[in-house]
Chain A
């Protein structure tokens, strides 16, 4: 009788544990399954009680077995695999291990609610396991199963410590495959094609290397959704050992694939969060670095009043935001600030208003075709004191900005541009991004040549002296920082002013 009461109480506690854990599982899966999580939740909430009632009424052994299977699904599938292995261990063990050794990657977390509900999912599954074991009548058998569970959790912890470790594996048959993923069609075609050529030049410049380096060049296209298929093929089918990419819009899609494959991804991208310092790294001056140099150069030129004429566009807005901070810090004045839509073609009224504010310089940034139209209309208004960040180097007709000064990628090795133009006379050298693309390939090559896991090598790398000058990275950071340079348009072409 006592045993019957004990089982009845345990069954009630087991059902409550299953129900509460099912609620947590549902919440957690909303982040991955969307509304499909509610179907999963309804199943987990309805089926176990139904099976238990069936068992109590009929003593059918299959009903009890099915109830046990549901418990096992919750404990193993949601508790141990998803809750413990995928979420709880990376949070605690992953964070700890990465803090003591760079051989372990820093864990990348999703939404706060997703992560914490994942931990709760694991804790809930422990209650499901405990009360599930209470339903087993024999104390001896219950004790043995508890011991197995404890040993199992310990084994999982040890397996995580062993498998989370990034180790050096020599490339298969001495060939290192580097995936090159950039859009070479659509609005990024000019940058993308120049990027590919810079990467090819880096590979062609290699001498006496221990391994052979193959480039797997793929056009991601400009659409991030379509790019995912290309990235998946490069990582899973081509089985590349590393990735060099460009354009933040594509880099953000490449990031999770590189992380899953545990291969380094060097992205010539300005969006800093893409560089997580685990497997993903960015390599280009930040908008803040561009803004700082621009404001310093403006001050050096005796400029005190600035008129801003900029297109409303994310990367341009980022430049303007950083620029305004530096302008204010150095005591310069924004005399006029106008942001226009990408569809604007007649800038004359905007130019008149800016001119009325009597600026020392007109800061302009826009994408084509607006950029060249703005340049033309500024010229028509006899305005030549023009400046920018990057923009003139992306112009289809740089001569429109003759005499303008601007900040852009550095070129410590100016011969790089000359060699590029000799090697690829039909490809326009887009100063922006190119030295970083070239240096990124060489950084990956250095990793393999020194016989180190390339991701660990990049985590440990604090400085690199390349064609773009000195690149530096703070410990644990995923962003290689570098100083931009001041350029001007002279004789219709970009020319480096100083470094």
Chain B
């Protein structure tokens, strides 16, 4: 009865005209930036953060969430038609999607991608609705030591999955924590590292940081390259997959949904991990694995389903524990805190309208996305023809105006620019900015949890290992760190052995 009552209450919030409008705006913008290479959901959410200051928190989160899962839909369009992923989670879709397009099957590829995303998104929302409330009761057993240890585990998982060096990802997490300490100490009121700049008393600001690291730096890096877009000139037709396509894809869609959803829940997981794992799984269980990469529809259906399911699953740790599973959720956490709402176990009790309203809006958002992505495919194809030379100045302009209107201050624009330059050099030197932003957002919670734990324990760190949940999280984190070192040790040993044999 509770489930049904919550379901209806959520829909009553989601169907309010303002929320419907912002849901549509969010999924439309999400699809747009998913289609357009050069800017991703993180940068877009950061740019639109200031827009959310003047609207209700529920509406703000509905819109920002729409951008996230909308981008998963849009990213498949460029992957299939141009062989350039619109955003990171669609990288895998390029492998078989573009090959299908070359064989004249762009329509079914786009169609199965949209339908698969819709099915996965819908199941994902159902899973979110069923799993979130029971997890809240588990989360109520979390105290400061458990929160601290879980956040540490989240950092380790995120860095473990870093595309490049884990050490560099850990470094970024450390720098993020340092940036998070700038401003007034919430416990003592003492200014920290503000250098007598009054604007820094409130800290660096999530919007300038994220816009700089993900928006400005992306522009600075992209303008250095000449990316040749080979847009398919053949007309895209036949968007509805045939019966054979469905027979081959439905299993892949369901498996992708399941794997993507649970991988999305993991701190450090998300749409990217979900898409890669689901593709690998399909290839592993296929009777014709050698055909993957040559236009297998399962190779499109599975990762597209997984990345959408993962984007729903990622909301679970945020809404129930207040821990963002990835950098996108970190932006959402920042947005909630800007509205003076602390996500966590008490969210469903203190703000039920927000909790159930956001979840219910995702059903509607998925329907809107199916409508946007199929009939409007012609529009998205035309947008792909817009050269980057016209796009990037507009993105830069939007970033500049977005940074200024946060506090009507040039300081935020300056900070955004500085972080843009920093982000440019970080990426040049192969440091990923995502762990930095995640650590930055988590630092106030992390510091509070650490200090409260030490006060509770009378100054000993034993409290983190004496409590079972906390100890489990720390053991898992240590195991992940060790397991990442073991291949290096083994490889080094093999290298040394080989060198010794050469010398002798």
Do these two chains really belong together in a complex?
no
Chain A residues packing against B (C-beta within 8 Å) = none
Chain B residues packing against A (C-beta within 8 Å) = none
